[in-house]
Amino acid sequence: MGDKIIEVYHEGLVLYSKGIGFEPNELIKVADGTYFRRHRNRLLLFKPNEENGEMRMHFIHPTDGKIQSTFDRIKDGKKIPLELMVEGLYYGIKPSTFT
């Protein structure tokens, strides 16, 4: 999983997912907690983690229905190392070092 981030957000009544460096994909509800990504053959299932109740997003294989990957929701305000580096807060590295 690493630092892969998928943002899930809504604009009005439409739900979207967006990965870093990718265009947003509309999420179309097909069942309770289950969505299909428009323009991609991918099902997403949102359900709480049984251990702690925090929300998880699962990518579901379109033909066999098995979970391919799981993403835990990041707590509000928490950042991954890539975001910290861009802000100059990771190991003292400043963004200007790379320009």
**Is 1 part of a structural domain of the chain?**
no
Q: What is residue 95's predicted lDDT score, i.e. its pLDDT?
A: 52
The pLDDT value given to residue 1: 42
Domain that holds residue 26: 6-98
Domain count, the chain: 1
Does residue 41 fall inside a structural domain?
Answer: yes
Query: CA-CA distance, 87 to 73, in Å (whole number)?
Result: 22
**pLDDT at site 29:** 93
Flag whether 92 is in a domain. Answer: yes
Whole-number pLDDT of residue 34 = 92
User: Does residue 45 contact residue 36 with C-beta atoms inside 8 Å?
Assistant: no
Residue 99 binned pLDDT confidence (cut-offs 50, 70, 90)? very low
Q: How many CA atoms lie within 13 A of 93 on its CB side?
A: 12
pLDDT digits (tens, 9 = 90+) for 3-59: 577 889 999 999 999 887 788 999 999 999 999 988 777 889 999 999 999 889 999
